[in-house]
Structure 1
């Protein structure tokens, strides 16, 4: 974790003011810890997944690569399917309950992955992890709905920093632990760590009282029917999809692209630095951009971030040295760090609180869909058109997203430019 991640006191506003729950700061601290640990546990398998697949009896090189991809993508696939369901259940039964379900389910699933005896069981258990998981997305719902509206961007930025730190630390832990304790024991350790997050969630998180279940059901014939103006929420679903497609479309070609810039001996190390650069940039900028968005408007920050990212993608297609790519990816991470907090903030500010979880669940699904589609599209374009086309095509997507968001913002009227306020 970086110096941005610890939970410092928010800019002065009394707890419980402006729509916030009395314990929202403590809830935020637990959610950051739980999201960080669960993301670390989910990503630590990246460095040794092919080795585990081989250990489970797959010997052909092409089959190892294929099964590794299937096992890795299985979690995102199943998580995308159930995210709206968990969001709706969070609205009906409570956000804390969904975090308890997720952390306990993930602890069990990660431990079971360490007991797999063949590759089919590995894929099935990765699917199960996606079905039972969702702690980070559930934390987003809890923080977005329990935090005072004037502090939503800052709080979600802090949470995003914890999530991105987990994405950064996870592969590093996965590279260190297996040689020390073994692959199966690494999964057991991950399950135990998530169980600690489960205990923290169970005993430390406090959620504001919710309406009775029967009353809530009567008031919710359908989430979208309760939204006066669906355009902001729809725009955020599209933006989340575009963001993840843009992020993940580059992943399949990074190593091959770096191989053109450095000696073969350094390809793996430099590729890791390139991938980590964007994550580190996002960690450093998420809370700062979230705080800026609370002042100048979340939609303005979204448009600005998308525009800057589009510009930064152009020189990435024409770099002549590895250090140039590392710097540009770091700068792009700085630009993109504020997008996810702002997406959640816009949804929270423009939908009724009682269906916020459902709509944020749809947003999570769109982002998972982008994580699945991005590598497929990027790999296809890179293989058939060229690697520069991936960067330039992604640039067009980001620029189009900026224009789309600006158009939707303006059509809502000048009086509601700042997130409907």
Structure 2
């Protein structure tokens, strides 16, 4: 759990944002753990629901991964507008409780169509972490926002680090369905914690007084730069998501069908989170000195150099080492984008800008699993890593193109 930095304390804040930061950090940790509990073995659950055959299993695994993010991208603008009018805490409560209910129903699913529909509903009702970012971003003094949002990001990463290990162990010991019920319990605890501990002084805004999307972009000094950052976020998630639906099946292929497959897959899935947790603060501090745009491009290039060898590994431990190195880069990419967004928008539109960025991230989360599962179904698992490396190469060239002449300008204190 994060500790308070004395240098960040505002003598007269409207709410105790340091307390809120700690509470929503715990909420993000629980949410990250809850989601990652079930993610490593979703392809195995799809198989348990009756989908067999290499091609069908790959395609359905990609679908159940991606449909959640598709519906999240569609629902995010609605929830974002409602949050601006009614408050962010309400959105946190809605998300935590809604996801808890859906997880229970997932554990009771009897066929693949029920499960697919519930994964879609999870996308509609989800969004705890983005709303937590919006809550803190609107409460923290602007010159402290980088530290606060960086600290908050470690919550979900820490939860995602432990979740696959615990989920894999529970799945091997008790079966797949009970893990969904455990996940629902964790999310309900998150709901109760938010209900009792998060404080928000919110002034209701009428819909007629809100800026339109066009007005939001008109208020930006560098709208093309911000749009470029949205696209970069999307491509980062495409590259990350392309591996997710095939990871467990790839581990099975290179490990000769070991007995504790769910646990080993969970361990390999968690390794990048551990690396990101270690690298994010250090690379973030380096980015403050040399510019986040340089960190962004350098880590994209590093990702390419790590992805290509993944296509040639011969055992799970080689894959784990490379996944750790990939996590080092992942820990810097999205925080670098978010820092650049903070530098290039005002407080008045910061919440909307982050909401739009989340929508682009969801679009990437939709496209990535579909890309990975489609490539795996036609060319095999190993080809997925080569194709992903090509996608990251494009992102590196694109990012360099629109950031090369931009000067690093830290935010002024407000």
* CA-CA distance at 1:158 after TM superposition: 2.8
1:137-152 matches, within 5 Å, as 137-152=130-145
* CA-CA distance at 1:115 after TM superposition: 4.1
1:304-332 C-alpha deviation (Å, 9 max, x unpaired): 32232233334444556654432222112
* CA-CA distance at 1:16 after TM superposition: 6.2
Tell me, yes or no, if the aligned pair for 2:34 and 2:163 is still in contact at 8 Å: yes
The change in CA–CA distance for 1:258 and 1:70 in structure 2 (over 3 A counts) is closer
> Which shifted more, 387-396 or 285-294?
387-396
Residue 218 (structure 1) aligns with: 209
3-state SS of 2:7 partner: coil
Tell me, yes or no, if the aligned pair for 2:66 and 2:367 is still in contact at 8 Å: no
The change in CA–CA distance for 1:391 and 1:344 in structure 2 (over 3 A counts) is same
* CA-CA distance at 1:22 after TM superposition: 4.7
* CA-CA distance at 1:134 after TM superposition: 0.5
- Does residue 97 of structure 1 match 2:90? yes
Residue 287 (structure 1) aligns with: 281
1:21-55 C-alpha deviation (Å, 9 max, x unpaired): 65222222222221222233233234554665577
Residue 9 (structure 2) aligns with: 14
> Residues of 2 paired with 1:347 and 1:21: CA distance?
24
The change in CA–CA distance for 1:97 and 1:296 in structure 2 (over 3 A counts) is farther
> Which shifted more, 157-166 or 231-240?
157-166
* CA-CA distance at 1:350 after TM superposition: 1.8
Residue 149 (structure 2) aligns with: 156
Residue 418 (structure 1) aligns with: 409
- Does residue 131 of structure 1 match 2:124? yes
Tell me which of 304, 307, 331 is aligned to 1:310: 304
Residue 238 (structure 2) aligns with: 245
TM-score scaled by structure 1? 0.82
- Indicate the RMSD between aligned Cα atoms, in angstroms: 3.4
1:228-261 C-alpha deviation (Å, 9 max, x unpaired): 3212321221111111111122345545655675
> Residues of 2 paired with 1:391 and 1:54: CA distance?
23
Tell me, yes or no, if the aligned pair for 2:150 and 2:335 is still in contact at 8 Å: yes
Residue 3 (structure 1) aligns with: none
Tell me, yes or no, if the aligned pair for 1:296 and 1:418 is still in contact at 8 Å: no
> Residues of 1 paired with 2:144 and 2:135: CA distance?
14
1:383-414 C-alpha deviation (Å, 9 max, x unpaired): 555666543443343343234333323444x4
- Does residue 360 of structure 1 match 2:351? no
> Residues of 1 paired with 2:137 and 2:59: CA distance?
38
Residue 40 (structure 1) aligns with: 33
Where in structure 1 are there 5+ consecutive unaligned residues?
A: 1-5
